[in-house]
Amino acid sequence: MSTFWRAAGLSYLQYSQASHKLRRQAVSVVGNNVFIRNIATNTKAKSIVSCSATQQNRRHIGMMAHINRGKTTVIKRMLHQQRYYNYGTNNSKNHLLRDGIFTVGVGFTAFAIAAIVKSERLDNTMNKIWRQIYNFCNNNNMEGYFKPIYDNTTVTNFILASHGIIFGAHQISSFNNTMRNNFMSSIYNRNPRALLLSTFSHATLPHLALNSLALYSFGPILLAKLNYSHEDLLALYVTAGTVSSYGSNVYNVLRRPVHMGIPGLGASGALLACAAILSEDDALKFSIIFLPMITMTGKQVVALISAVDVVGLIRGWTTIGHAAHLSGTLFGIWFVYGNGRKLISRYENFVFQEYRKLRNKR
């Protein structure tokens, strides 16, 4: 037997022994906490064989490393499933019900507050003057002169500022527990407010930069589509972000993928909802950030990103929260192509009228 095959046989025997040892020692459960011990140490470099660096030998070593990576993935899946069962199937479904109620509550509350703020703005003298000027310009084809004054980015700048502040908090080590419990959404997070707050949360600078640039581009355009209602823009943003976070948790509970315990954060779900809403206008063109010479319609952008997200879910990609992306996209599609806009408008009008009645009784 050649030196290579003796070394390969010895390596495989060592790996098998390490695998059995890993199954016995990898998981230690204390209550609902799971501690993963020595996964990397016991699975790393067990297939490295001391042999001549011929092309054939390197190919066999690559095959052994591929086997090791596959077994590591299986072991990780076992550990995640063990943690899920320790967490409790009924417990996770109860939390889904609680989070679902919270998500619906965020939507109702956000648009109710938007209606109340609109009512208060009606009684503001300056706002009445601006509204009269706006109506005059619209009626006389002069909206182009007025939009630079009225079409500002107040809400967009507010959201961008909140992104920056929360990103800064992520960089402070003493805030780690607070950020993990309140600004990272996960099926294991017992705080439902994380579904909402994770929309404003970014842990890395490239993630923050890309989402902020997209929001800065979408914000003013979406504001015009919403009749320059800053309140509706903010309500739509927080609702879409919460829905996307909840959709990700639902997917993780139902499918239990390997990465189901990884916390989710970011504004991508809310931004894709905005992109889906803007896709209604075929005249509006989108361009890729690093390839501005390539332009696409909103429908093409939404279809392309959704296709990538579907493939990501099938393939198990973990770099991006594909379930959250699809959830945000579906919310935007429901808003603009379904009955979402009409239902929300009716609800806002109802709250507006009831609030006016209560206010007039004072």
- 186/330 same-domain check: yes
Whether residue 175 sits in one domain with residue 233: yes
pLDDT at 227: 79
Q: Are residues 65 and 131 in the same domain?
A: no
Report d(CA 335, CA 339) in Å as an integer: 6
What pLDDT score was predicted for residue 237? 95
> Domains in the chain: how many in total?
2
Please tell me the distance from the alpha carbon of residue 26 to that of residue 34, in angstroms, as a whole number. 10
What is d(CA 11, CA 9) in angstroms, rounded to the nearest whole number?
Answer: 5
pLDDT of residue 315: 86
Domain range for 56 is: 3-85
**pLDDT in the model for residue 8:** 43
Kindly state whether residues 70 and 119 are assigned to the same domain. no
Q: How far apart are the first and last CA of the chain?
A: 97
Predicted pLDDT of residue 168: 94
- How many whole angstroms separate alpha carbon 237 and alpha carbon 222? 11
Same domain, 80 and 94: no
Looking at the fold, whether 72 and 107 belong to one and the same domain comes out as no
Which amino acid, one-letter code, is at 253?
V
Given a cut of 70, the residues of the chain with pLDDT beneath it are 1-93, 124-135, 137-153, 257-261, 362
Q: Each residue of 213-247: pLDDT tens digit?
A: 999 888 888 888 887 788 899 999 999 999 999 99
Residue 81 sits in the same domain as residue 199: no
Instruction: Specify the pLDDT at position 83.
Output: 54
Domain limit, last residue, from 70, 85, 100: 85
Are 76 and 164 members of one domain? no
101 in the same domain as 29: no
| 48 and 101 together in one domain | no
Tens of pLDDT, residues 253-285: 887 766 666 788 999 999 999 999 999 888 888
Show which of 85, 119, 149 is a domain's final residue. Answer: 85
Beta bridge mates, 185: 264
Burial class (CB in 10 A: 0-12, 13-18, 19+), 148: exposed
Q: Are residues 100 and 18 in the same domain?
A: no
Q: 80 and 184: one domain?
A: no
Query: Domain containing 177 — which CATH number?
Result: 1.20.1540.10
Check if the beta carbon of residue 253 is closer than 8 Å to that of residue 92.
yes
pLDDT of residue 333: 95
Q: What is the pLDDT of residue 33?
A: 38
Predicted model pTM: 0.70
pLDDT value at residue 311: 93
